[in-house]
Amino acid sequence: MKEHNKVMNPLLAPFNTPFNTVPFSKIKEAHYLPAIKEAIKIAKEEIEEIKSNSEAPSFENTIEALESAGGLLNKVSDIFFNINSAETNDEIQKLAQEISPLLSAYSNDIQLDEQLFARVKAVYDQKDGLTLTVERATLLDKAYKGFVRNGALLEDGDKERLREIDKELAGLSLKFGEHVLAETNAYTLVLDNEEDLKGLPESAVEAAAQTAQEKGHDGKWVITLDHPSYGPFLTYADNRKLREKMFLAFSRRAFGKDKNDNRDIVLKMVALRKERANLLGYKTHADFVLERRMAESPDKVFDFLNNLLNQAQPVAREELQELTDYARQNRGPDPLQRWDFAYYAEKLKKEKFSIEDELLKPYFKLENVVDGVFQVSNKLYGLNFRERNDIDKYHPDVVTYEVTDENGEHVAIFYADFFPRAGKRNGAWMTAFQGQFKKPEKAQRPHASIVCNFTKPTPSKPSLLTFNEVTTLFHEFGHALHGMLANGHYESLSGTHVYWDFVELPSQILENWCYEKECLDLFARHYETGEKIPEEYVQRIKDSANFNEGLATIRQLSFALLDMAWHTTEPETIKDVADFERETLDATNLFPKVDGINMSCAFGHIFQGGYSSGYYSYKWAEVLDADAFEFFKEKGIFNREVADLFKKHILSAGGSEHPMILYKRFRGKEPSPQALLRRAGILKDKVA
């Protein structure tokens, strides 16, 4: 019966598909839980083989064997949680609440297994006498410290408490995300008066009508909290009261004293993370996290953030004053409220630079932008992308490609999922359905995916991207390149498996190409006439690149400082989520206070994703990417010599060595923060 079930469950049977891709159409909700349970059982058997090996512990029979153990479980759980993010439903969310504790328990069973740790420690203790490659030495160090950082040295009672904490945190994180998604999906602004649409571009009006039709409001218009709907409304709608209404709805998600309220979850998660860190001998959760980051400590992160804050604040205040003066001159409100910012910023930007999203969007048809990023990766790294219709998809919107190199050799599979829907969480991200590794008996190439929420095509127009969406696509594709060009021996050190404050370098650097005429000329053509984007428009994009950059920097720093505050403050001193957030953000809040709103309760990066004590990494990586792109600019943005260095030492190297060593091999020196300040226009000095 067991073998029969194994064959009947497509997650457990051999896939027998092109490139071993996931057979999504064969997988039903009912398959996930049995597959997870069976995969855990198999993984435990693999671990038992390592423990019961009668030979003395060695790198091969312990560290490499441990790296390979649980391969099926990793595959099944990756598929499940990717679907939970991109195409979820009530049944999948319910399954996630069952599956997460099982995985937490399994992970703890491994990390707290004394016999297994004894073998790992035996190899680690003799590391100085072993002849290991750098990559092998990194794997050994990561394996040993992974056990220690997960409680291997704790007493039995503390180990049991650690298990309880991890199980509870896994469940709370899932609930947090479900609440935010439910709140996002539940709110709609139904408009039946055409006057309320005044100021909105035609494309936004048409999209609102299409959404209304999809939601059963024929003849009306519907605005939602999904970014392709919410963003244009806040930016263009003349009706200030409706802008305020939408802003408040967005800013009150999961902060409403109802079943989706995340306040208690936030306080509980923060307390549990602190308790976990203390159990393991760390002062705070931030101390625990940052030990395995380039930044190393909370003090260094705060110094880094506050230094940027001090440089950006005067610039941001000047920008806000300019915007306030502009609004006043145009009979706008004084002071400006937060729901006024995007509206007047867009108008001032248009006036100063003769540029706006609606002017540029016709040149950024989604399919052309995708082709553009493919051409960029071909010029830099010799990659070719061919759409494949024989690869299964989890939703009809998904497009699948085979990626090959200049010799026609298979490199990766690439999935692209671009449009919002009820089962997909907001935002944009890169993920993978299969990682990369090299073994003597088998080499596995990656299956990477990017997931975005761009404006859908309408009956009269294709999907036309804002310039910000163009940079978002390039950003996520940069992550995908990091995954697709992985070339390590061990999956846990391959591709994007790097220090968290290094992982944004490949994504953020690729955004720089969007501002270069040499790049835009490859793909930016009018969707109706085929006309190449005018040179003057490209110049306007460059000229306006730093518009309100001080305010944008302050905004990012506020998120990072809030994250650090949650994870360095004694939880018992925090009595109220809203009060704590307000006090923390006081130094970065340049707008009038708004009651009844809260960011923490919808801050998925740190309470649902993996960015707790790590949101600063966006700015940290900006320093790296600004410095790295200066190298490209010196030699030429499509210079293959520089691209080869970046590919070899950054994209293909993964986490095989400490990131600063890899960066210096690429650049020849440590990164300079001045490069970021120069690019942002915050530092006027042009001298390196």
What DSSP line would sit under 274-294, residue for residue? HHHHHHTT-SSHHHHHHTTSS
The pLDDT, as a whole number, for residue 3 is 44
Query: What is the average per-residue pLDDT within 89-116?
Result: 94
673 against 256, higher pLDDT: 256
Which residues fall within 8 angstroms of residue 11, CB to CB, at 6 or more apart?
27, 31, 32, 35, 39, 76, 79
CB 220 within 8 A of CB 189: no
For the four alpha carbons of 659, 661, 664 and 669, in that order, the dihedral sign comes to positive
Q: Which residues on neighbouring strands pair with residue 412, listed in sequence order?
A: 403
Q: pLDDT (tens digit, 9 = 90+) per residue, 305-329?
A: 999 999 999 999 999 999 999 999 9
Distance CA 434, CA 153 (A): 32
For 458-569, strand residue ranges (E) read none
Query: What is the average per-residue pLDDT within 546-552?
Result: 94
CB 611 within 8 A of CB 286: no
The pLDDT, as a whole number, for residue 688 is 35
Which residues fall within 8 angstroms of residue 321, CB to CB, at 6 or more apart?
none
The pLDDT, as a whole number, for residue 676 is 87
Residue at token pair 């932008």: 369
469 is catalytic: no
Burial annotation 309-347 (CB, 10 A radius, 16+ → b, else e): bebbbebbeebbeebbebbeeeebeeebebbbbbbbbbb
Q: What angle do CA 28, 29, 34 make, to 5 degrees?
A: 100
Model confidence band, residue 2 (pLDDT cutoffs 50, 70, 90): very low
Residue 1 has pLDDT above 50, yes or no: no
Distance CA 152, CA 421 (A): 43
Residue 687 has pLDDT above 60, yes or no: no
Which residues fall within 8 angstroms of residue 191, CB to CB, at 6 or more apart?
197, 208, 220, 221, 222, 223, 242
The pLDDT, as a whole number, for residue 7 is 54
CB 531 within 8 A of CB 237: no
In this structure, what token pair is assigned to residue 588? 């970065």
Residue 6 has pLDDT above 60, yes or no: no
**Nearest partner of 75 among 139, 14, 7, judged by Cα:** 14
Query: What is the average per-residue pLDDT within 428-457?
Result: 95
Distance CA 342, CA 76 (A): 42
Q: pLDDT (tens digit, 9 = 90+) per residue, 326-372?
A: 999 999 999 999 999 999 999 999 999 998 888 999 999 999 999 99
Model confidence band, residue 684 (pLDDT cutoffs 50, 70, 90): low
Residue 43 has pLDDT above 80, yes or no: yes
Model confidence band, residue 385 (pLDDT cutoffs 50, 70, 90): very high
Query: What is the average per-residue pLDDT within 125-144?
Result: 96
Distance CA 508, CA 516 (A): 15
Mean pLDDT score across all residues of the chain: 94
Query: What is the average per-residue pLDDT within 470-490?
Result: 98
Q: What angle do CA 671, 436, 605 make, to 5 degrees?
A: 55
Which domains does the chain show, CATH number per domain?
2-111+113-153 (1.10.1370.40), 187-251 (no CATH), 362-545 (1.10.1370.40)
CB 625 within 8 A of CB 667: no
Distance CA 480, CA 394 (A): 18
CB 224 within 8 A of CB 211: yes
Residue at token pair 């390149």: 481
Strand pairing category for 384-387 and 447-451: unpaired
In this structure, what token pair is assigned to residue 160? 């049991």
CA-to-CA separations, 409 to 352, 371, 640, in angstroms, rounded: 49, 20, 19
Residue 479 has pLDDT above 60, yes or no: yes
Phi, psi of 281 (to 5 degrees): 95, 15
Catalytic residue among 67, 356, 476, 511: 476
Q: State what percent of residues in the chain have pLDDT above 70.
A: 98
Query: What is the average per-residue pLDDT within 207-235?
Result: 94
In this structure, what token pair is assigned to residue 575? 């009595």
Angle between helices 298-329 and 338-353 (to 10 degrees): 70
Distance CA 157, CA 37 (A): 27
Distance CA 528, CA 362 (A): 8
Q: pLDDT (tens digit, 9 = 90+) per residue, 586-633?
A: 999 999 999 999 999 999 999 998 899 999 999 999 999 999 999 999
- Look up residue 118 and give its amino acid: A
Distance CA 275, CA 571 (A): 9
Residue 108 has pLDDT above 70, yes or no: yes
The pLDDT, as a whole number, for residue 203 is 87
In this structure, what token pair is assigned to residue 83? 């679907």
- Look up residue 60 and give its amino acid: E
Query: What is the average per-residue pLDDT within 400-422?
Result: 97
